[in-house]
Chain A
Amino acid sequence: MSDGAQDIMIGQLERELAYYRRECNDLGARLLRLQEEQSQTFREARRSRTVAKLIREAYRLADGELTPGEIGTPMLEMIIENALCDGAALLEEDGESFRISHAIGVGVEVPSHPISIPSPPEFFFTTARTPIEPLAYELTSILRLPYVLWAYDKPTGRALILGNRSESNVSRPFEAGDQELIEGALSVYIDIMLRKQAEMELRGAKSAAERASAARARFLATLTHELRTPLNAIVGYSEMMAPGSRYDPSPADRGRYTEMILDAAHYLLKLADGILDYSYLEQVLPSLRPEWLQADKVIANTVAVAAGESRSREVAIAATEVDPALELCIDPVRFRQVLHNLLGNAVKFSPAGSIVEVITACATGGGVTVTVRDTGAGMRPEDIPRALEPFQQLDHNAVRSFGGAGLGLPIAKRLVEAHGGELLIESQPGLGTSATVSLPPARVRLRRED
């Protein structure tokens, strides 16, 4: 081959090579773009699938045993798993501000202070181009993450926020298209939570109704017994004394029978009073009229009223000295009723010759406690909760000694609680009982001498 022909051939080969190189690179570029488009399409589709998957997984929470408060964290775990964000939190509107109910993620700290968002938007997201305006500042400070995605459901006052440290989270910043994801997640959460709440309320109501029904059945059974005993006495002794009776009681017997009838009638009256008191309690509680009263006078007056019965039972009542400057914000009638019930019980079950103590003390933190302590029969610690429940103790031999309708302690407990306080009972069989009324600091003050 001549040099010229060789040159021509080399030239052609070079052109051919250049052609193939160009075509190879063009085809490669097309392949690259197609591959990228395919990946992009898949990632877009993934967003829709993510919403569907999230909803599917989240609804499984509705079937579990979790309480409404417990579903927040697993819900956030699912959201983070599907949305691949750095942090997430659920918020609850609390008056003018929000509080975080659940939060998880990298370095996420739940702020203890309320979060103020004066005009919470229904949907919001931040990117590197978002101006640092108050709303963006407020929302990004919640998780302390600069890139956030936010949804808020006004009717329920619930909100969900997701956050990322870097804008290009898994290569894509938050965008308007994410509204479907975050609103879907929030809606599912709210739906499951409300469903759980309704379920719990229904279960609670069913359980309460069952308890109430059982208690009423017990109460009726025992009340029937309690009514029959004195009524039998009244009817029996009255028949014996009735004209034409085959009995011919002597005058002394008539006197004894009359006393027994009177005792039985008094007992019935007390029973009726207790039942009436308790049944009126629901009406009484909202209408408490607390006022600032001198503690020493309230206690002294109540002790004086109880002293009549205690003397007849040869039981002394000793009250500790109370600071005359100590004042309690209490309903005068109902708080005395509390002390009266406690003193009545203590005196009733104390042996003759014993002393019932009334101890008033300042509690740590600024509250006050009033303790009524006796050395009577006492009861088993496990019976105390029952003694504090209405209609529970009448059929129980160990605590029947509380007497009457057994409503004194339940009434006292409800009244103390209506004052924002607590009634604590401590007791041991054979050693006696201590009933302590605790009033919170808000109900206590020391009168200033002007």
Chain B
Amino acid sequence: MIRVAYAKHSDPGMAVRSCAAALGPGRPEMLLVFCGGKHDPFVVRSALRQAFGPVPVYGGSAAGAVAREGFGYSGFELGIIAFHDPAVTPRCATTRELLPDERAGGAALGMRVAELANADDVVLLFFDSVAQASPLRLHPASVIVDGFHAGFGRRPVCLIGGGLLTDMNLAGGWVFDGEEVVKHAAVALVFPSSVRAETAVMHGCRPVSTFMEITRIDGAEVYELDGRPALTVIERMLGLPLGGSRGHELTLTATLGEKQGDPFAPYDENAYVNRLILRANPETGSVTLFEQDFAHGTRVQIMSRDNSLMLESVRRGVEEINRAVARTDALFGLYIDCAGRGSARSGAPVEEAALVQMGLDPGVPLLGFYSGVEIAPFAEGRSKPLDWTGVLTVLRRRA
């Protein structure tokens, strides 16, 4: 049995008590908790201990949460999934070693998960997205996931997850790793082989340029596109100069997308790996991406967010999931939603989370959180980190 609860209150103790009351009696085997970033995590941890006893708690900060009862990104939300049935309770592996080397941290986690998981098992991965708040440096998901796959080995795994943030401004992040509140950590929840996942990745970007080649790049820093300063190329597209605080606005405006497969095949949102632009750097003429997985020679397109496309994509994705889980023993739905898709940031006239909240089969308990990056199986292959997506996954018992 799995129960889900959601509350919103500026007093973390009150929020926890409210969730505990909604979850009802009985001590769960484990809690998966997503906690609004304005709450003091230590107070929340202590309140959870008081309400539930010595139950292991995994999860961490979230820019907001989504549930049947409501959703929001004020920072005072609290969402809890309580696992009561040992048959569907995941086993957990953790690492606190992201700061010195994200790849090594990811690899260590992958190796621990490999000891717990069978082929094709469902693994939920959550990690602290922010390495350093000022100047801002992220823990790149692409490096962590790459390390994870390296550590895990060649067996297939259904890896789904998200980066944990305290708010939409990327001010911080932290993790509940079963024991404590920690920074620079990642947790992996390995579900029993009897559990399967149905996943839909919802997008919302479309290309607005021809293909361009990255001709100079260093990590996440893209210096040149087709031999010209990357920032100049993007500024020309936008028709406005970027710099100072406006550099931050770029995050909202354009992304760089790499099309997988046949580059000249008709547009398919699922064919693109999008990378958000973290900031523009007028001094170097470069842009900093959220991830480091593009390389010299990668052919990219400038992508525009399209709110109506985003909403269409959500409607389509939710329908797809409803069809997939119909007449199955669904355990719960988890919505990992890029924080930038909230209408306060995207400018969408409708909250796309509301479409998930209302559209997903009412018989499926739902919890979601606003994330920094989303991880999901990509193009029938290994899981990849994705930007500007909503990943809706419903865990169900194997038929």
Contacts and interface: CB of A to CB of B under 8 A. Distances in A.
Interface of A: 21, 24-25, 27-29, 31-33, 35-36, 38-43, 46, 73, 76-77, 80-81, 84, 86, 104-106, 128, 164-171, 173
Nearest to B306: A35
B247 to A, nearest CB: 9
Interface stretch (B100-108, B140-148, B182-190, B207-215): B207-215
Interface stretch (B20-28, B118-126, B330-338, B339-347): B339-347
B55 interface: no
B210 A24 contact: yes
B208 A77 contact: no
B210 A32 contact: no
B266 interface: no
A165 B38 CA distance: 12
Nearest to B172: A106
Chain A contact residues: over half helix, strand or loop, or mixed? helix
A366 B361 CA distance: 69
A31 B38 contact: no
A171 B167 CA distance: 12
A281 to B, nearest CB: 44
Chain B contact residues: over half helix, strand or loop, or mixed? loop
Given A35-B305, A86-B38, A104-B10, A166 B171 contact: yes
Nearest to B208: A28
A158 to B, nearest CB: 19
B245 A168 contact: yes
A77 B166 CA distance: 17
Given A84-B73, A171-B249, A38 B307 contact: yes
15 contacts: A28-B304, A39-B252, A39-B346, A39-B347, A41-B347, A43-B347, A77-B8, A77-B10, A80-B75, A86-B75, A106-B166, A165-B169, A165-B171, A166-B169, A171-B249
B297 interface: no
A24 B347 CA distance: 25
Interface in B342-391: 343-349
Interface residues of B, number: 44
Given A106-B38, A171-B248, A42 B349 contact: yes
Contacts of B347: 38-43, 46
Lowest 9 A-B CB distances belong to which pairs?
Answer: A39-B347, A28-B208, A81-B74, A42-B347, A168-B248, A104-B10, A32-B304, A29-B237, A21-B210
B254 interface: yes
Interface string B244-265: 1100110111100000000000
Most buried by B among A21, A80, A164, A171: A171
Contacts of A77: 8-10, 74, 76
A43 B349 CA distance: 9
A289 B60 CA distance: 65
Contacts of B344: 43, 46, 84, 170
B238 interface: yes
Interface in B224-240: 236-239
Given A32-B304, A43-B344, A80-B76, 11 more contacts: A27-B208, A31-B304, A36-B252, A42-B307, A42-B343, A42-B349, A46-B347, A81-B74, A86-B171, A105-B75, A106-B38
B72 interface: yes
A42 B349 CA distance: 7
B293 to A, nearest CB: 23
A34 to B, nearest CB: 9
B63 to A, nearest CB: 10
Nearest to A26: B237
B287 interface: no
Contact of B345 (A27, A28, A171): A171
Contacts of A25: 208-210, 237
A170 B171 CA distance: 11
Nearest to A41: B347
Contacts of B253: 32, 35-36
B44 interface: no
Contacts of B249: 168, 171
Interface in B1-16: 8-11
Contact of A170 (B239, B304, B345): B345
A173 B247 CA distance: 13
A81 B71 CA distance: 11
Nearest to B169: A166
A170 B73 CA distance: 11
B151 interface: no
Nearest to A27: B208
Contact of A128 (B11, B73, B245): B245
A143 to B, nearest CB: 13
B302 interface: yes
Contacts of B254: 32
A41 B167 CA distance: 23
A149 to B, nearest CB: 16
Contacts of A28: 207-209, 237, 302, 304
Nearest to B239: A33
A21 B226 CA distance: 13
A35 B310 CA distance: 12
A390 B33 CA distance: 57
B168 interface: yes
Interface in B161-197: 166-169, 171
Most buried by A among B251, B253, B348: B253
B59 interface: no
B168 A42 contact: no
Nearest to A36: B253
B102 to A, nearest CB: 24
Contact of B307 (A39, A165, A170): A39
A42 B74 CA distance: 19
B37 interface: yes
